[in-house]
């Protein structure tokens, strides 16, 4: 049976309605499959489906589990199921089959989730737009000429379009929050070491990356964080509160919030600024204190080292895959920009890694004092929500130049040019990286829609392990008209 209202339901709705016998878990699965088959040809957000496996999962699922019957999609990055494709968006891994199920996914399966497929992403999750050469671009459900963001863009488009209630993502510089903003969703990045990273990579990308989900509601995000919680590497932090979901019901005392709408890179879209200021007014009406301020950190060095970390980690990843695949990787195996990043990383001084971590840790220490003065730091999520498909990719001329440079083994010498291109891309997304570099929790809430029909997000950060505080703040805003809710079709 196809469920008429399926596209509007969040995961908790689904679980509750199944328990009330208003429909069955199989009805939910059938509705999800119908939505994917109907919408994916237009959006290209789902790259693999495994319907037979999903049906087997449903047969084995415990009907008393907290997420029984919730159909989800997995981002094809670190979220593996044994016996299914795992490509990281690269033609190098187009035939790669997972040999094990990652801890993160296993916890979701044990909680009753039914995984029906995998979502699109840029190669190795390296960009803020989802346009890999292997699978082609994912389109924004609100405006097909525009990007849904990245790197979890396939997941965001799948949830926003109503294919599933929840899809997984990971966030190493905004990769959950950026697409959540551009697709009108709630995007939450937990504190570092709060969720499991997997058996191959633990402190992924120098500690930048955290796993979580993209959701329609705050309560879904909180419930999933309860289920995911607990790092599976050599570090473990005791859960700061008993339940993130139950925390949503507690009253929120007035907070002191620092507000900033200016970017180090300069221009911020007026519509994003206006949405942020409107949310600030709502917060003031609740009794929260808003002051214009921002962290006094060296943003130039932070952005510079963020790009350096991309060089280093891409070089490491290709070396790792060469050893794993027993294959010499050439520019024919990956996208030219990826190959150039790795080759630059190969030539960097070994001390740079330590220098990067020292700066990030020093910045994190400073942020402790910032969050003694303020409870929350508030900005727009993006400087520019209007990313047309293709606009952030290398042009044909630039790609030809990259290939030519690689053949001449001159990659390192174009490092300043590559950095300039990277800074141009970061200028669209300047507010999200700080939370990753310092390991702090952050979120994007949906707060309006632009003149080009792209949703707008407002961004919040807080101190380490203050995830529950942000979730409570989001819940307070979710109950106001400022929270963007797409019109039902």
Residue 203 in domain? yes
Residues 44 and 152 in one domain: yes
| Rounded-to-integer distance, Cα 98 and Cα 197, Å | 15
Residues 112 and 210 in one domain: yes
Scan for tokens 């950095």, then name that residue: 419
Residues 321 and 190 in one domain: no
Residue ending a domain, choose from 382, 401, 426: 426
Residue numbers annotated as active site: 75, 151, 175
| Rounded-to-integer distance, Cα 455 and Cα 473, Å | 20
- When computed from its CA atoms, the radius of gyration of the chain, rounded to whole angstroms, is 21
> CATH number, domain at 180?
3.90.1300.10
- 472: nearest Cα among 234, 283, 334: 283
pLDDT by residue for the chain (489 residues), tens only, comes to: 568 899 999 999 999 999 999 999 999 999 999 999 999 999 999 999 999 999 999 999 999 999 999 999 999 999 999 999 999 999 999 999 999 999 999 999 999 999 999 999 999 999 999 999 999 999 999 999 999 999 999 999 999 999 999 999 999 999 999 999 999 999 999 999 999 987 677 778 899 999 999 999 999 999 999 999 999 877 778 899 999 999 999 999 999 999 999 999 999 999 999 999 999 999 999 999 999 999 999 999 999 999 999 999 999 999 999 999 999 999 999 999 999 999 999 999 989 999 999 999 999 999 999 999 999 999 999 999 999 999 998 888 778 877 787 776 777 778 888 888 888 889 999 999 999 999 999 999 999 999 999 999 999 999 999 999 999 999 999 999 999 998 765
Residues 52 and 190 in one domain: yes
Residue 275 in domain? no
Residue 284 in domain? no
Residues 319 and 247 in one domain: no
**What residues contact residue 365 under an 8 Å CB cut-off, 6+ apart?**
none
**Number of structural domains, the chain?**
2
Instruction: List helix spans (H) across 9-85.
Output: 11-19, 25-43, 51-60
Which range of residues forms the domain containing residue 327?
299-373+393-426
Residues 363 and 216 in one domain: no
Instruction: List helix spans (H) across 259-298.
Output: 270-285
Residues 132 and 186 in one domain: yes
Residue 187 in domain? yes
Residues 250 and 305 in one domain: no
């Amino acid at each position: 049976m196809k469920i008429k209202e399926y596209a509007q339901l969040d995961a908790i709705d689904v679980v509750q309605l199944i328990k009330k016998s208003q429909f069955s878990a199989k009805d939910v699965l059938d509705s999800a499959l119908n939505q994917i088959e109907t919408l994916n040809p237009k959006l290209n957000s789902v790259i693999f489906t495994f319907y037979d496996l999903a049906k087997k999962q449903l047969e084995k699922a415990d009907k008393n589990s907290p997420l029984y019957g919730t159909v989800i999609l997995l981002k094809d990055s670190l979220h593996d199921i044994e016996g299914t494709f795992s490509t990281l968006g690269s033609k190098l891994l187009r035939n790669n089959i997972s040999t094990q199920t990652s801890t993160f996914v296993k916890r979701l399966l044990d909680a009753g989730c039914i995984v029906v497929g995998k979502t699109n992403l840029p190669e190795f999750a390296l960009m803020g737009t989802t346009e890999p050469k292997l699978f082609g671009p994912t389109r924004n459900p609100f405006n097909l000429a525009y990007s849904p963001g990245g790197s979890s863009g396939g997941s965001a488009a799948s949830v926003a379009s109503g294919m599933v209630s929840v899809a997984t993502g990971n966030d190493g510089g905004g990769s959950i929050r950026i697409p959540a903003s551009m697709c009108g969703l709630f995007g939450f990045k937990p504190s570092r070491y709060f969720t499991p990273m997997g058996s191959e990579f633990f402190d992924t990308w120098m500690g930048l990356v955290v796993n979580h989900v993209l959701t329609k509601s705050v309560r879904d995000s909180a419930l999933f964080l309860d289920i995911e919680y607990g790092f599976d590497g050599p570090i473990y932090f005791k859960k700061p509160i008993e339940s993130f979901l139950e925390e949503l019901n507690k009253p929120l005392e007035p907070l002191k919030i620092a507000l900033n709408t200016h970017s180090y890179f300069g221009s911020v879209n007026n519509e994003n600024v206006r949405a942020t200021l409107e949310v600030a007014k709502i917060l003031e009406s609740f009794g929260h204190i808003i002051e214009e301020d921002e962290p006094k950190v060296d943003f130039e060095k932070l952005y510079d080292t963020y790009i350096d970390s991309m060089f280093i980690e891409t070089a490491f990843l290709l070396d790792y895959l060469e050893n794993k695949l027993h294959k010499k990787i050439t520019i024919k195996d990956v996208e030219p920009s990826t190959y150039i990043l790795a080759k630059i990383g190969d030539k960097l001084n070994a001390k740079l890694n330590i220098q990067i971590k020292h700066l990030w840790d020093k910045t994190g220490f400073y942020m402790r004092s910032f969050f003694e003065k303020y409870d929350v730091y508030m900005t727009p999520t993006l400087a520019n929500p209007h990313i047309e498909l293709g606009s952030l990719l290398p042009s044909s001329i630039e790609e030809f130049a990259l290939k030519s440079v690689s053949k001449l083994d001159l990659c390192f010498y174009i490092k300043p040019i590559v950095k300039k291109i990277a800074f141009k891309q970061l200028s669209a997304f300047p507010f999200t990286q700080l939370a990753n570099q310092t390991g702090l929790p952050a979120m994007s809430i949906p707060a309006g829609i632009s003149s080009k029909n792209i949703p707008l997000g407002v961004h919040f950060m807080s101190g380490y392990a203050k995830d529950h505080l942000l979730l409570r703040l989001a819940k307070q805003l979710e109950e106001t008209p400022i929270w963007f809710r797409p019109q039902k079709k």
